Amino acid sequence: MKKLLPAILLALGVVILAAVPWIASDVVVQFGINSLLLAVLAQGWNIIGGYCGYPSFGNSTFFGLGCYGVAIALVQWELPFAVGLAFGVALAAAFAVLLGIPVLRLKGHYFAIATLALALAMSAIVSNVEIAGRNIGLVLPPLNNDPLFYELSLALLIAATLTVFWLTRSRFGFGLIAIRENEEGAAVMGVNTTLFKILAFTLSGVFSALAGGIYAYWITFIDPVSAFDIGLNVKMIIMAVFGGPGTILGPVLGAFLLTAVSEVLASEVTTLAGLFFGLVVVAAVVLMPRGLTDVFHQFHKAGWRYFLNNIRAHRL
């Protein structure tokens, strides 16, 4: 029963989420699509950043490639949406493999900076590609069906979360965690570190690209600046880290909570919303550096002292 309860709660949560388009207003559904796609991005980042320990700033690039995959297929080639999604995924996978080989040799800050540079370069490159509409962008044929986009996003989030769940109990996932904890130690124990890192980067990219594809069709307009937005990458990292990187549900919780907080702040205290959001993030980092999931696990043991202990442990 103790094991079954979380599973039942989770299933109930999914059912409620799936029912939202039938019970809530259009505004809520649109907010829902946004949150679900951000949750997919946070969960995708979780694979490379949370499990493998490589803080990628290149995931917004995958998102952008997914956007352009769908946009080019729909606008320039007049192909169906599904083909566009597949094209976006193929672009992202190719990018992850070709650039992952050199970039994944770097560690820590160097990896972060290199992926950041790639993301900036992509926006400049795409601005000069004729088929991608240069720096003007592409306007997609509108499909006014928010419930469909909502359910698609939810399905994608479930797929991403199930993938992460599989990671926690598979040989592949064990290899990734070993790399995160100690890469040299993993290699001498037989983990093919290069291959595993590239696979993780690719898997992470596939989910980001799918989210990008859905986003592009939903929003019906993309240009290089909005598709390859570094701010989006920062957001997904904040959400994953806020919720608990390297956990199954942490990034999803983090994404839902933070999008809700920023939405409320933006409507209640319009002028200072950005400042408050920043304060929320700083407080979270100081008080719960290992994320929400860790709070859930430790709070009942340590009580309020949990937060004090974190402040002490990090000498803040």
Partner 1 sequence: MTAILEVSNATRNFSGLVAVNNVSFKLNEGEILGVIGPNGAGKTTLVSLISGTLSLSRGDITFEGQSIATLSAFRRARLGIGRTFQIMHPFPGLSVLDNVAVGALFGQSGTSVGLSQAREQARTQLEFVGLGDYADQRADELSGPGRKRLELAKALAMRPKVLLCDEVMAGLNLVEIDEVIDVVRRVRERGISVLVIEHVIKAIKSLSDRIFVLNHGEKIADGTPEAVLSDPRVIEAYLGRSRRE
Closer by beta carbon to partner 1, 135 or else 194: 194
Q: Report how far Cα 32 is from the mean position of its chain's Cα atoms.
A: 15
SS3 139: strand
Q: Does 298 bind partner 1 (CB under 8 A)?
A: no
Site for partner 1 in 156-175 (CB under 8 A): 169-171, 174-175
Q: Does 187 bind partner 1 (CB under 8 A)?
A: yes
Closer by beta carbon to partner 1, 104 or else 116: 104
Closer by beta carbon to partner 1, 60 or else 163: 163
Q: How far is the CB of 10 from partner 1 (least distance, A)?
A: 22
Q: Does 301 bind partner 1 (CB under 8 A)?
A: no
Dump strand ranges (E) for the chain: 138-139, 221-222
Which residue reads 């297929």 in tokens? 73
SS3 137: coil
Q: How far is the CB of 173 from partner 1 (least distance, A)?
A: 9
Closer by beta carbon to partner 1, 194 or else 298: 194
Q: Does 184 bind partner 1 (CB under 8 A)?
A: yes
Considering only residues 126, 186, 214, 216, which one is a binding residue for partner 1 as defined by CB under 8 A? 186
Q: Does 178 bind partner 1 (CB under 8 A)?
A: yes
Residue (of 63, 54, 52, 47) closest to 111 by Cα position: 54
Q: Does 47 bind partner 1 (CB under 8 A)?
A: no
Paired residues of 69 in beta bridges: none
Binding mask 112-151 vs partner 1 (x if CB under 8 A, - otherwise)? ----------------------------------------
Binding mask 237-256 vs partner 1 (x if CB under 8 A, - otherwise)? ---------x----------
> With contact defined as beta carbons under 8 Å apart, do 168 and 52 qualify?
no
Paired residues of 221 in beta bridges: 139
Q: Does 189 bind partner 1 (CB under 8 A)?
A: yes
- In angstroms, the CA 227 to CA 215 distance is 10
Q: Does 185 bind partner 1 (CB under 8 A)?
A: yes
Residues 49, 45, 298, 281: is their CA dihedral positive or negative? positive
Q: Does 181 bind partner 1 (CB under 8 A)?
A: yes
Q: How far is the CB of 190 from partner 1 (least distance, A)?
A: 4
Interface stretch with partner 1, choices 152-160, 191-199, 230-238, 269-277 (CB under 8 A): 191-199
- In angstroms, the CA 277 to CA 200 distance is 30
Which residue reads 């720096």 in tokens? 135
Closer by beta carbon to partner 1, 2 or else 270: 2
Residues that contact partner 1, how many (by CB under 8 A): 22
Q: Which H or E run includes 221?
A: strand 221-222
- In angstroms, the CA 247 to CA 245 distance is 6
- Please classify residue 78 by burial: count the beta carbons closer than 10 Å to its beta carbon, then call 0-12 exposed, 13-18 middle and 19+ buried: exposed
Burial 117-143 (b: 16+ CB within 10 A, else e): ebbeebbeebbeeeebbeeebbebeee
Q: Does 109 bind partner 1 (CB under 8 A)?
A: no
Residues that bind partner 1 (CB under 8 A): 169-171, 174-175, 177-178, 180-182, 184-194, 246
